[in-house]
C-alpha cells in the first residue's frame, strides 16, 4: 500500500500522505501504528535470504541494507505524519526486540508504554531483527501488531491492505471471488486444517498467513478488522468506528 510493490525502494508518496491525513483527521487517542516493508524491506531481505537466518558472512551486508531500507521507508512515513501534525515517534523494533525461531522472545516495552502515556503516536514496522537461535530473522508487521495488541491490551486492530479483506478465492485472479465479511476463529481453524490437510496453496491470495498471525490477539477478545486502505477514507472511517466494507475476525461463541 505505502510502496510500489513492482519497483524496489519506491514509496507511494501520495498514499502515505493521504493516510497521514486520514489518521490526523480521525484524531483518535492511544493509537499505535505499524507498517510493513513493501518494496523497501522485502527485495533486499530476499536477495540475501535474511528470513532463513544466518548461514554465511555474505548475508551480513544484506542484513545491514535491509535494516537501512526499513529506516528509509519509516522515515518517509513519520515525516508525513509529523507534517500532518501527528506527534509520531519511531520505535525501532530491532532495537528493543529479540526473536527466537522468528517469534518474539523478548521485547523492552517501557519506551513504547511511556510514549503512549504521554499521548505520542508510536510508529513501528516490520524489521530485520536479531534471533537467539537463527542469528537473525524477519519480524513481520503482522506478528508485531498481534503481539503489541495483546501486550497493550488494545481495544481493536485495524489492518489496512490493498484488497477489501478475506475472500473465498483470490480477488486478484478471480473476478467472482466473494468477500467474507465475518469470520470466527473456529472457521479460520477449519480453513487452516483444510489447507494443511490438502497441502493446497493459500487460495485467498496470501491473506491466510495474515489471519493466522492475528488469531492470538483475537483469542484474547481483541476484534480485528481487515479493510482496503487503498480506498479513500476507509482508514478514517475505521478509526472513527464508522461502517467500512472489509473482513471482521471475531472470537466467536465457542471460546466466549
Instruction: Select from 94, 143, 146, 247 the one that contacts a second copy (CB under 8 A).
Output: 94
Per the DSSP assignment, residues forming a β-bridge with 243 are: none
**Least Cβ distance, residue 37 to a second copy (angstroms):** 16
- Window of 13-21, 107-115, 178-186, 213-221 that interacts with a second copy by CB under 8 A: 107-115
24 lines the binding site for a second copy (CB under 8 A): no
Residue 95 or residue 181: which is nearer to a second copy going by CB?
A: 95
Number of residues this chain uses to bind a second copy (CB under 8 A): 41
Scanning 77-85, 161-169, 177-185, 206-214 for contacts with a second copy by CB under 8 A, the matching segment is: 77-85
CA distances from 17 to 79, 168, 220 (A): 10, 32, 33
Cα–Cα separations (whole angstroms), residue 88 to 29, 61, 74, 227, 239 = 12, 29, 11, 22, 17
| One residue of 101, 106, 182, 221 binding a second copy per CB under 8 A | 106
- Using the minimum distance from each CB to a second copy, give the nearer residue, 79 or 174: 79
- The set of residues, in sequence order, having a beta carbon less than 8 Å from that of 244 and lying 6+ positions away, is 225, 227, 234, 237, 238
User: Which among 26, 39, 32 has a CA at the least distance from the CA of 162?
Assistant: 39
From the list 132-140, 141-149, 184-192, 200-208, the region that binds a second copy by CB under 8 A is 132-140
| Gap between the Cα atoms of 132 and 204, Å rounded | 33
Told to check if 111 binds a second copy by CB under 8 A, we report yes
34, three cell numbers? 505499524
The residue (of 101 and 186) whose beta carbon lies closer to a second copy is 101
Residues between 40 and 69 that touch a second copy (CB under 8 A): 54, 60-61, 63-65, 67-68
Q: Which stretch binds a second copy (CB under 8 A): 13-21, 73-81, 189-197, 224-232?
A: 73-81
Instruction: Indicate the burial class of 165 (C-beta count within 10 angstroms; 0-12, 13-18, 19 or more).
Output: buried
CB-based contacts of 191, cutoff 8 Å, min separation 6: 208
Cell of 108: 523492552
Query: Is the Cβ–Cβ distance between 143 and 211 less than 8 Å?
Result: no
Contacts to a second copy by CB under 8 A? 54, 60-61, 63-65, 67-68, 71-72, 75, 78-79, 82, 85, 87-98, 106, 108, 110-111, 114-115, 118-120, 129-130, 132, 135-136
Amino acid at each position: 500500500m505505502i510502496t510500489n510493490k513492482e519497483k524496489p525502494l519506491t514509496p507511494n508518496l501520495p498514499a502515505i500522505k493521504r493516510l497521514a491525513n486520514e489518521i490526523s483527521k480521525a484524531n483518535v487517542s492511544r493509537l499505535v501504528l505499524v507498517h510493513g516493508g513493501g518494496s523497501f524491506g522485502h527485495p533486499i531481505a530476499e536477495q540475501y535470504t535474511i528470513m532463513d537466518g544466518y548461514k554465511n558472512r555474505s548475508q551480513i551486508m544484506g542484513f545491514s541494507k535491509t535494516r537501512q531500507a526499513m529506516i528509509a521507508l519509516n522515515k518517509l512515513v513519520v515525516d508525513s505524519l509529523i507534517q500532518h501534525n501527528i506527534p509520531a515517534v519511531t520505535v525501532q523494533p530491532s532495537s528493543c526486540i529479540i526473536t527466537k525461531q522468528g517469534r518474539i522472545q523478548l521485547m523492552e516495552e517501557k519506551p513504547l508504554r511511556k510514549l503512549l502515556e504521554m499521548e505520542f503516536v508510536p510508529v513501528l514496522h516490520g524489521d530485520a531483527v536479531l534471533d537467539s537461535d537463527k542469528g537473525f530473522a524477519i519480524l513481520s508487521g503482522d506478528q508485531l501488531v498481534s503481539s503489541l495488541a495483546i501486550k497493550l491490551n488494545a481495544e481493536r486492530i485495524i489492518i489496512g491492505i490493498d484488497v477489501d479483506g478475506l475472500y473465498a478465492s483470490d480477488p486478484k485472479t478471480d473476478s467472482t471471488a466473494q468477500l467474507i465479511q465475518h469470520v470466527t476463529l473456529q472457521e479460520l481453524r477449519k480453513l487452516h486444517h483444510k489447507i494443511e490437510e490438502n497441502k493446497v496453496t493459500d487460495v485467498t491470495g496470501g491473506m491466510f498467513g495474515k489471519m493466522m498471525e492475528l488469531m492470538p490477539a483475537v483469542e484474547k477478545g481483541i476484534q480485528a478488522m481487515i479493510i482496503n486502505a487503498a480506498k479513500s477514507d476507509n482508514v478514517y472511517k475505521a478509526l472513527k468506528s464508522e461502517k467500512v466494507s472489509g473482513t471482521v475476525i471475531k472470537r466467536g461463541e465457542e471460546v466466549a
